[in-house]
Structure formats: structure tokens, C-alpha cells
Amino acid sequence: ALLSPAAPALAHGVAAHANNTAAVAQQKPFGIDGEPGKVVRILPVAMTDDMRFTPDVINVTRGETIKIALSNNGAIMHEMVLGSAADLQQHAEMMRTFPTMQHEAAYMAHVSPGASGEIVWRFNRAGVFDFACLIPGHSEAGMRGRIRVLDAPQATDNRSEE
């Protein structure tokens, strides 16, 4: 991934890959890079210009490797970034400071209008985590959601019970 020279990559939490070496999977509080050959489920998620993800609540079982298949059904760029609420807030602030910053990690996908993308992620830690589109203004307008990683499989339809 190429990083904008104006963007402090390490402060952003993204390792610089100036020498184009392969990134090493790094454990995060919300999981670790998934291996495509170990995907157990594909979850379609739509992104729209009304600043929404559909669905906006995803339930998975701890240990599952999931492919989140993203479709940008809008006319503008959107992204999905997984993380804790605090991490996403910090990332959003960085995006406001450096709106043209180029960055890439296994827990994020940038999807052009009318295109598709994917995140393959292994949810190896139980808990409730967040995702958002951190393009300036999008998350603030409501383009965010939640991932619930449960210890045991439960009957679920991916809708919020709240």
C-alpha cells in the first residue's frame, strides 16, 4: 500500500510498505487477518449514499473466518473499517486532517461507486466491535454498524434485538 507523504503512517496505526513486503497478520482486539481458504461464511453488506450499511448489525461466532462482501450501491466512494469505537474515532480524526490519505489494511476496504470489495477477517475474540465508513462526514451521518462476536452459535438473523 502506498501512503501519502503528508500522512504520518505510523501515527495512523498502519505500517508503511514502501518496500512492498507482504504484511504480517497482526492480532487486533477485534480479530486477525483471515485466510481466504478458511472462510466459513460470506456476509453481503450494501453501502449506500444515504450513509447506511445494510445490514448494520452482524453476528458471528468466535473463531469464524468471515468474508464480508461489500457492494457500493451509491454514486460516491465508501469504505468499511472494522475496529473499536475509540480506534474508529481516532482514524476518523486522521481522515479529516488528511482526507486524501492512502491507506490499506486487512480490516478495511475502500469501494468505488458501483463496485464491490471484501474484507476477510477471523473473529477470534468474543465481544462487541464496530465498523464505519470513515470518509469525512459519512460516519457522522450514520454510516456505521456493530459486529457481535458470540462465544457459541445462536440462531440469528443479523438484525438488532435492541
- Using one digit for the tens of pLDDT, what is the confidence trace for 120-137? 999 999 999 999 999 989
Whole-angstrom distance, CA of residue 121 vs CA of residue 107: 7
Mean pLDDT rounded to a whole number for the chain = 82
Q: pTM for the whole thing?
A: 0.77
Element (H, E) at 158: none
Q: How many residues are listed for the chain in this entry?
A: 162
pLDDT along the chain (162 residues), means of 10: 37 36 74 95 97 97 97 96 90 77 82 96 95 92 96 58 44
65-72: strand order across its sheet: 32-33, 116-122, 65-72, 41-48, 52-54
Cα separation values, 13 from 38, 41, 67, 109, Å: 26, 28, 23, 16
**DSSP letter assigned to residue 76:** S
pLDDT at 18: 36
pLDDT at 65: 97
pLDDT at 64: 96
Asked if 133 and 51 touch (Cβ cutoff 8 Å), the reply is: yes
pLDDT at 50: 97
Element (H, E) at 147: strand 144-150
